[in-house]
Chain A
Amino acid sequence: MIGLVIVSHSAKLAAGVHELAAQMAGGQVAIGQAGGLSDDGETLGTDASRILSAIDEVWCDDGVLLLMDLGSAVMSAEMALEMLPEHRRKNCLLSNAPLVEGAIVAALHASLGEPLQAVNAVAEAALSVPKLAGAG
Protein backbone atom coordinates (compact mmCIF):
# COMPACT_ATOMS: atom_id res chain seq x y z
CA MET A 1 0.00 0.00 0.00
CA ILE A 2 1.42 3.40 -0.97
CA GLY A 3 2.16 6.16 1.52
CA LEU A 4 1.18 9.83 1.26
CA VAL A 5 2.98 13.00 2.30
CA ILE A 6 1.17 16.31 2.79
CA VAL A 7 3.43 19.31 2.10
CA SER A 8 2.23 22.73 3.20
CA HIS A 9 3.66 26.11 4.15
CA SER A 10 1.61 25.83 7.31
CA ALA A 11 1.96 23.10 9.95
CA LYS A 12 -1.68 23.66 10.89
CA LEU A 13 -2.87 23.31 7.31
CA ALA A 14 -0.84 20.09 6.89
CA ALA A 15 -2.31 18.72 10.14
CA GLY A 16 -5.84 19.64 9.06
CA VAL A 17 -5.49 18.03 5.64
CA HIS A 18 -3.98 14.99 7.35
CA GLU A 19 -7.00 14.78 9.64
CA LEU A 20 -9.45 14.90 6.71
CA ALA A 21 -7.51 12.40 4.62
CA ALA A 22 -6.89 9.96 7.48
CA GLN A 23 -10.61 9.78 8.11
CA MET A 24 -11.14 8.57 4.54
CA ALA A 25 -8.41 5.96 4.81
CA GLY A 26 -9.75 4.30 7.95
CA GLY A 27 -6.31 4.40 9.56
CA GLN A 28 -4.86 2.04 6.96
CA VAL A 29 -2.69 4.45 4.97
CA ALA A 30 0.56 5.93 6.27
CA ILE A 31 0.19 9.69 5.83
CA GLY A 32 3.14 11.94 6.64
CA GLN A 33 3.12 15.69 7.18
CA ALA A 34 5.72 18.28 6.28
CA GLY A 35 4.23 21.62 7.27
CA GLY A 36 6.03 24.84 8.10
CA LEU A 37 9.72 25.19 8.82
CA SER A 38 11.37 22.40 10.75
CA ASP A 39 12.77 24.41 13.62
CA ASP A 40 9.56 26.16 14.50
CA GLY A 41 6.05 24.85 13.80
CA GLU A 42 4.73 28.41 13.96
CA THR A 43 6.82 29.69 11.07
CA LEU A 44 5.34 29.49 7.59
CA GLY A 45 7.50 27.95 4.89
CA THR A 46 8.55 24.67 3.37
CA ASP A 47 11.73 22.76 4.06
CA ALA A 48 13.15 20.03 1.84
CA SER A 49 14.75 18.18 4.75
CA ARG A 50 11.45 18.08 6.61
CA ILE A 51 9.80 16.63 3.50
CA LEU A 52 12.59 14.07 3.28
CA SER A 53 11.93 12.94 6.88
CA ALA A 54 8.20 12.63 6.17
CA ILE A 55 8.95 10.43 3.14
CA ASP A 56 11.17 8.25 5.35
CA GLU A 57 8.46 7.93 7.98
CA VAL A 58 5.81 6.64 5.58
CA TRP A 59 8.19 4.78 3.26
CA CYS A 60 6.99 1.60 1.64
CA ASP A 61 8.30 -0.03 -1.52
CA ASP A 62 4.94 0.47 -3.25
CA GLY A 63 5.84 4.15 -3.35
CA VAL A 64 4.96 7.51 -1.87
CA LEU A 65 2.72 10.20 -3.34
CA LEU A 66 3.41 13.83 -2.37
CA LEU A 67 0.69 16.46 -2.34
CA MET A 68 1.75 20.12 -2.11
CA ASP A 69 -0.07 23.38 -1.38
CA LEU A 70 1.52 25.99 -3.68
CA GLY A 71 4.52 27.90 -4.92
CA SER A 72 7.75 27.00 -3.17
CA ALA A 73 6.19 23.84 -1.68
CA VAL A 74 6.70 22.39 -5.15
CA MET A 75 10.34 23.53 -5.31
CA SER A 76 11.07 22.12 -1.85
CA ALA A 77 9.40 18.81 -2.76
CA GLU A 78 11.44 18.56 -5.97
CA MET A 79 14.53 19.21 -3.92
CA ALA A 80 13.64 16.52 -1.38
CA LEU A 81 13.23 14.01 -4.21
CA GLU A 82 16.68 14.88 -5.54
CA MET A 83 18.11 14.13 -2.11
CA LEU A 84 16.60 10.62 -2.06
CA PRO A 85 18.63 7.59 -3.12
CA GLU A 86 17.89 6.59 -6.71
CA HIS A 87 15.82 3.46 -5.88
CA ARG A 88 13.50 5.51 -3.68
CA ARG A 89 13.31 8.49 -6.00
CA LYS A 90 11.77 6.44 -8.78
CA ASN A 91 9.03 5.28 -6.42
CA CYS A 92 8.03 8.80 -5.39
CA LEU A 93 5.65 11.00 -7.31
CA LEU A 94 4.75 14.68 -7.03
CA SER A 95 1.05 15.14 -7.62
CA ASN A 96 -0.51 18.03 -9.51
CA ALA A 97 -3.71 17.46 -7.50
CA PRO A 98 -5.36 20.22 -5.44
CA LEU A 99 -4.21 19.67 -1.85
CA VAL A 100 -7.46 19.10 0.04
CA GLU A 101 -9.49 17.25 -2.58
CA GLY A 102 -6.42 15.40 -3.80
CA ALA A 103 -5.40 14.20 -0.35
CA ILE A 104 -8.87 12.90 0.43
CA VAL A 105 -9.25 11.08 -2.89
CA ALA A 106 -5.67 9.75 -2.71
CA ALA A 107 -6.14 8.45 0.84
CA LEU A 108 -9.31 6.63 -0.15
CA HIS A 109 -7.80 5.01 -3.23
CA ALA A 110 -4.53 4.20 -1.47
CA SER A 111 -6.53 2.39 1.23
CA LEU A 112 -8.01 0.20 -1.51
CA GLY A 113 -4.49 -0.92 -2.35
CA GLU A 114 -4.27 0.83 -5.72
CA PRO A 115 -0.80 1.44 -7.18
CA LEU A 116 1.01 4.81 -7.11
CA GLN A 117 0.22 5.97 -10.67
CA ALA A 118 -3.45 5.03 -10.37
CA VAL A 119 -3.85 6.84 -7.05
CA ASN A 120 -2.21 9.93 -8.51
CA ALA A 121 -4.44 9.81 -11.59
CA VAL A 122 -7.66 9.91 -9.52
CA ALA A 123 -6.22 12.57 -7.20
CA GLU A 124 -5.32 14.79 -10.17
CA ALA A 125 -8.74 14.21 -11.69
CA ALA A 126 -10.13 16.02 -8.63
CA LEU A 127 -8.94 19.22 -10.35
CA SER A 128 -11.81 18.99 -12.82
CA VAL A 129 -14.59 18.01 -10.40
CA PRO A 130 -16.87 21.03 -9.99
CA LYS A 131 -17.56 22.09 -6.42
CA LEU A 132 -20.97 23.58 -7.12
CA ALA A 133 -23.87 21.62 -8.55
CA GLY A 134 -24.44 22.66 -12.14
CA ALA A 135 -21.04 24.37 -12.41
CA GLY A 136 -18.32 23.32 -14.82
Chain B
Amino acid sequence: MAQEITTKQLRKWLLAYAARIIENEGHLTELDTAIGDADHGVNMRRGMGKLQERLHDEGQSEDVSAFLRSVAMTLINGVGGAAGPLYGTFFLRAATSPTNGSSIDLEQLTQMFRYGLDGLQQRGKAQADDKTMIDTIQPAVEAMEAALAAHQSAAVVLAAARQAAHLGMKHTIEIEARKGRASYLGPHSIGHQDPGATSAYFLFETAAEVFTTTGAD
Protein backbone atom coordinates (compact mmCIF):
# COMPACT_ATOMS: atom_id res chain seq x y z
CA MET B 1 0.00 0.00 0.00
CA ALA B 2 0.94 3.62 -0.28
CA GLN B 3 2.48 5.25 2.77
CA GLU B 4 -0.57 7.40 3.15
CA ILE B 5 -4.23 6.44 2.93
CA THR B 6 -6.09 9.17 1.08
CA THR B 7 -9.73 10.18 1.41
CA LYS B 8 -10.23 8.53 -1.98
CA GLN B 9 -9.04 5.21 -0.51
CA LEU B 10 -11.23 5.65 2.55
CA ARG B 11 -14.15 6.14 0.15
CA LYS B 12 -13.18 2.97 -1.70
CA TRP B 13 -13.04 1.09 1.62
CA LEU B 14 -16.52 2.21 2.65
CA LEU B 15 -17.94 1.40 -0.78
CA ALA B 16 -16.51 -2.09 -0.37
CA TYR B 17 -18.00 -2.23 3.14
CA ALA B 18 -21.43 -1.12 1.88
CA ALA B 19 -21.33 -3.77 -0.86
CA ARG B 20 -20.28 -6.48 1.62
CA ILE B 21 -23.13 -5.59 3.99
CA ILE B 22 -25.66 -5.61 1.15
CA GLU B 23 -24.41 -9.06 0.02
CA ASN B 24 -24.79 -10.26 3.59
CA GLU B 25 -28.20 -8.74 4.34
CA GLY B 26 -29.84 -12.17 4.49
CA HIS B 27 -27.14 -13.52 6.78
CA LEU B 28 -27.45 -10.53 9.16
CA THR B 29 -31.24 -10.90 9.19
CA GLU B 30 -30.91 -14.59 9.98
CA LEU B 31 -28.55 -13.89 12.89
CA ASP B 32 -30.81 -11.14 14.24
CA THR B 33 -33.93 -13.31 13.87
CA ALA B 34 -32.34 -15.85 16.22
CA ILE B 35 -31.60 -13.45 19.08
CA GLY B 36 -32.97 -10.00 18.24
CA ASP B 37 -35.76 -8.26 16.39
CA ALA B 38 -34.72 -9.35 12.88
CA ASP B 39 -34.10 -5.78 11.70
CA HIS B 40 -30.30 -5.55 11.55
CA GLY B 41 -30.00 -6.77 7.95
CA VAL B 42 -32.75 -4.48 6.66
CA ASN B 43 -31.52 -1.49 8.68
CA MET B 44 -27.93 -1.91 7.56
CA ARG B 45 -28.91 -2.46 3.94
CA ARG B 46 -30.97 0.73 3.96
CA GLY B 47 -28.12 2.67 5.55
CA MET B 48 -25.58 1.25 3.11
CA GLY B 49 -27.80 2.22 0.17
CA LYS B 50 -27.78 5.80 1.48
CA LEU B 51 -24.05 5.59 2.03
CA GLN B 52 -23.44 4.41 -1.55
CA GLU B 53 -25.47 7.37 -2.85
CA ARG B 54 -23.49 9.72 -0.64
CA LEU B 55 -20.13 8.25 -1.61
CA HIS B 56 -20.93 8.47 -5.31
CA ASP B 57 -21.78 12.16 -4.98
CA GLU B 58 -19.33 14.30 -6.86
CA GLY B 59 -17.73 17.36 -5.40
CA GLN B 60 -17.18 16.07 -1.90
CA SER B 61 -14.50 17.38 0.38
CA GLU B 62 -11.17 15.56 0.22
CA ASP B 63 -10.61 16.38 3.87
CA VAL B 64 -10.52 13.14 5.90
CA SER B 65 -12.36 14.58 8.93
CA ALA B 66 -15.10 16.16 6.83
CA PHE B 67 -15.44 12.92 4.88
CA LEU B 68 -15.81 10.81 8.02
CA ARG B 69 -18.34 13.28 9.44
CA SER B 70 -20.48 13.05 6.35
CA VAL B 71 -20.33 9.23 6.54
CA ALA B 72 -21.46 9.49 10.18
CA MET B 73 -24.41 11.75 9.39
CA THR B 74 -25.51 9.46 6.55
CA LEU B 75 -25.51 6.47 8.90
CA ILE B 76 -27.33 8.38 11.66
CA ASN B 77 -30.06 9.40 9.23
CA GLY B 78 -30.22 6.19 7.28
CA VAL B 79 -29.70 3.09 9.40
CA GLY B 80 -32.28 3.09 12.20
CA GLY B 81 -32.33 0.65 15.10
CA ALA B 82 -29.51 0.76 17.62
CA ALA B 83 -26.99 0.41 14.78
CA GLY B 84 -27.72 3.95 13.50
CA PRO B 85 -26.52 5.87 16.55
CA LEU B 86 -23.78 3.31 17.20
CA TYR B 87 -22.18 3.31 13.74
CA GLY B 88 -22.90 7.05 13.54
CA THR B 89 -21.02 7.66 16.78
CA PHE B 90 -18.17 5.42 15.64
CA PHE B 91 -17.56 7.56 12.54
CA LEU B 92 -18.38 10.87 14.23
CA ARG B 93 -15.71 10.16 16.83
CA ALA B 94 -13.32 8.76 14.22
CA ALA B 95 -13.67 12.11 12.44
CA THR B 96 -12.07 13.85 15.43
CA SER B 97 -8.85 11.78 15.24
CA PRO B 98 -5.65 13.38 13.91
CA THR B 99 -5.12 13.48 10.13
CA ASN B 100 -2.76 15.04 7.60
CA GLY B 101 -5.66 16.87 5.98
CA SER B 102 -6.53 14.80 2.94
CA SER B 103 -4.75 11.64 4.06
CA ILE B 104 -3.79 9.55 7.10
CA ASP B 105 -0.83 7.30 7.79
CA LEU B 106 -1.01 3.84 9.35
CA GLU B 107 -0.66 5.16 12.88
CA GLN B 108 -3.45 7.66 12.27
CA LEU B 109 -5.63 4.92 10.79
CA THR B 110 -5.13 2.93 13.99
CA GLN B 111 -5.98 6.03 16.04
CA MET B 112 -9.06 6.58 13.92
CA PHE B 113 -10.34 3.12 14.86
CA ARG B 114 -9.38 3.72 18.51
CA TYR B 115 -11.32 7.01 18.63
CA GLY B 116 -14.31 5.29 17.04
CA LEU B 117 -14.15 2.43 19.56
CA ASP B 118 -13.95 4.81 22.53
CA GLY B 119 -16.96 6.74 21.25
CA LEU B 120 -18.89 3.51 20.74
CA GLN B 121 -18.21 2.39 24.30
CA GLN B 122 -19.38 5.71 25.70
CA ARG B 123 -22.55 5.64 23.59
CA GLY B 124 -23.58 2.02 24.03
CA LYS B 125 -22.09 1.52 27.51
CA ALA B 126 -21.08 -2.00 26.45
CA GLN B 127 -17.94 -3.78 27.62
CA ALA B 128 -16.03 -6.69 26.13
CA ASP B 129 -17.96 -9.97 26.46
CA ASP B 130 -21.39 -8.29 26.44
CA LYS B 131 -21.94 -9.94 23.02
CA THR B 132 -21.95 -6.77 20.93
CA MET B 133 -19.96 -5.11 18.14
CA ILE B 134 -17.41 -4.17 20.83
CA ASP B 135 -16.34 -7.84 20.89
CA THR B 136 -15.18 -7.46 17.30
CA ILE B 137 -13.84 -3.92 17.29
CA GLN B 138 -11.94 -3.88 20.58
CA PRO B 139 -9.67 -6.86 19.86
CA ALA B 140 -9.15 -5.59 16.31
CA VAL B 141 -8.02 -2.17 17.53
CA GLU B 142 -5.79 -3.74 20.18
CA ALA B 143 -4.23 -6.03 17.55
CA MET B 144 -3.57 -3.03 15.30
CA GLU B 145 -1.95 -1.12 18.15
CA ALA B 146 0.24 -4.08 19.08
CA ALA B 147 1.34 -4.69 15.48
CA LEU B 148 2.04 -1.00 15.01
CA ALA B 149 4.12 -0.89 18.20
CA ALA B 150 6.11 -3.84 16.80
CA HIS B 151 6.81 -1.76 13.64
CA GLN B 152 4.96 -4.17 11.36
CA SER B 153 4.02 -3.29 7.81
CA ALA B 154 0.57 -2.03 6.89
CA ALA B 155 -0.33 -5.42 5.43
CA VAL B 156 0.58 -7.15 8.70
CA VAL B 157 -1.21 -4.58 10.86
CA LEU B 158 -4.40 -4.86 8.81
CA ALA B 159 -4.21 -8.66 8.66
CA ALA B 160 -3.84 -8.73 12.45
CA ALA B 161 -6.90 -6.51 12.82
CA ARG B 162 -8.93 -8.70 10.51
CA GLN B 163 -7.93 -11.89 12.29
CA ALA B 164 -8.63 -10.47 15.75
CA ALA B 165 -11.98 -9.11 14.55
CA HIS B 166 -12.86 -12.54 13.16
CA LEU B 167 -11.96 -14.32 16.40
CA GLY B 168 -13.91 -11.71 18.37
CA MET B 169 -16.96 -12.18 16.16
CA LYS B 170 -16.81 -15.97 16.57
CA HIS B 171 -16.32 -15.56 20.33
CA THR B 172 -19.78 -13.94 20.53
CA ILE B 173 -21.26 -17.38 19.77
CA GLU B 174 -20.00 -18.69 23.10
CA ILE B 175 -21.15 -15.89 25.38
CA GLU B 176 -24.39 -14.64 26.86
CA ALA B 177 -25.79 -11.28 25.73
CA ARG B 178 -25.77 -8.53 28.32
CA LYS B 179 -26.75 -5.61 26.07
CA GLY B 180 -29.48 -4.91 23.55
CA ARG B 181 -32.53 -6.92 22.65
CA ALA B 182 -30.64 -10.23 22.85
CA SER B 183 -30.03 -9.69 26.57
CA TYR B 184 -33.73 -10.42 27.20
CA LEU B 185 -32.95 -14.00 26.14
CA GLY B 186 -30.30 -14.47 28.83
CA PRO B 187 -28.57 -17.86 28.53
CA HIS B 188 -30.69 -18.70 25.45
CA SER B 189 -28.54 -16.22 23.52
CA ILE B 190 -25.55 -18.58 23.85
CA GLY B 191 -24.84 -20.51 20.65
CA HIS B 192 -25.75 -17.62 18.35
CA GLN B 193 -23.35 -15.19 16.70
CA ASP B 194 -24.09 -11.54 17.38
CA PRO B 195 -25.35 -9.66 14.30
CA GLY B 196 -23.71 -6.35 15.31
CA ALA B 197 -20.37 -8.08 15.86
CA THR B 198 -20.81 -9.57 12.39
CA SER B 199 -21.52 -6.29 10.57
CA ALA B 200 -18.60 -4.73 12.46
CA TYR B 201 -16.26 -7.55 11.32
CA PHE B 202 -16.79 -6.50 7.70
CA LEU B 203 -15.23 -3.10 8.50
CA PHE B 204 -11.90 -4.83 9.14
CA GLU B 205 -12.27 -7.46 6.44
CA THR B 206 -12.80 -4.79 3.77
CA ALA B 207 -10.12 -2.52 5.26
CA ALA B 208 -7.57 -5.34 4.94
CA GLU B 209 -8.66 -5.98 1.36
CA VAL B 210 -8.80 -2.39 0.16
CA PHE B 211 -5.87 -0.77 1.94
CA THR B 212 -3.43 -3.52 1.08
CA THR B 213 -4.33 -3.95 -2.58
CA THR B 214 -4.90 -0.45 -3.90
CA GLY B 215 -1.21 0.37 -4.09
CA ALA B 216 -0.57 3.90 -5.28
CA ASP B 217 -4.25 4.56 -6.00
Contact = CB atoms under 8 A, between A and B. Distances in A.
Given A75-B124, A79-B123, A46 B80 contact: yes
A44 B124 CA distance: 20
Contact of A75 (B39, B46, B86): B86
Interface stretch (B26-34, B70-78, B167-175): B70-78
B123 A78 contact: yes
A3 to B, nearest CB: 23
Of A45, A46, A47, which is in contact with the most chain B CB atoms at under 10 Å from its CB? A45
Nearest to B80: A45
B77 A75 contact: no
A49 B39 CA distance: 21
Given A75-B124, A79-B76, A79-B123, A45 B43 contact: yes
B84 to A, nearest CB: 6
A48 B88 contact: yes
For this complex, into which size category does the number of interface residues on chain B fall? 20 to 34
Contacts of A45: 43, 79-81, 84
A72 B88 CA distance: 12
A72 B77 contact: no
Interface stretch (A26-34, A35-43, A84-92, A110-118): A35-43
For this complex, into which size category does the number of interface residues on chain A fall? 10 to 19
Contact of A79 (B46, B81, B85, B181): B85
Contacts of B180: 71
Nearest to B46: A43
Nearest to B79: A45
Contact of A46 (B39, B46, B85): B85
A37 B49 CA distance: 15
Given A44-B80, A71-B82, 5 more contacts: A45-B43, A45-B79, A45-B84, A46-B85, A72-B82
13 contacts: A38-B77, A39-B77, A44-B39, A44-B80, A47-B84, A48-B76, A49-B73, A71-B180, A71-B181, A75-B124, A76-B84, A78-B123, A79-B88
Interface of A: 37-39, 43-50, 71-72, 75-76, 78-79
The 9 tightest CB contacts between A and B, nearest first, are A45-B80, A72-B82, A75-B85, A76-B85, A37-B80, A48-B76, A79-B85, A47-B77, A38-B77
